[in-house]
Amino acid sequence: MLTVSCTEAGNARPTFWWSNSIKLEIAVHLTPPAPLSDFLPQTIVGLGNPGPTYDRTRHNIGFAIADALARSRSISLSDTRKFKGEFGEGRSPNGGKLRILKPLTYMNRSGEAIVATINWYKLPPESVLVVYDDMDLPVGRLRLRLSGSAGGHNGMKSAIAHLGTQDFPRLRIGIGKPPIRGDRTNSHVLGKFAPDEVPIMARVVDLAVEAIEFSLKEGVEKAMSLYNNRNAAES
* Alpha carbon distance 175, 136 (integer Å): 8
* Alpha carbon distance 191, 56 (integer Å): 8
Q: Running DSSP on this structure, what letter comes out for residue 199? A: H
Closest Cα to residue 69, out of 45, 48, 37? 45
* Alpha carbon distance 166, 43 (integer Å): 16
* Alpha carbon distance 194, 149 (integer Å): 29
Please report, to the nearest 10 degrees, the dihedral formed by the alpha carbons of residues 219, 222, 223, 224 taken in order.
120
Q: Which residues are catalytic?
A: 59
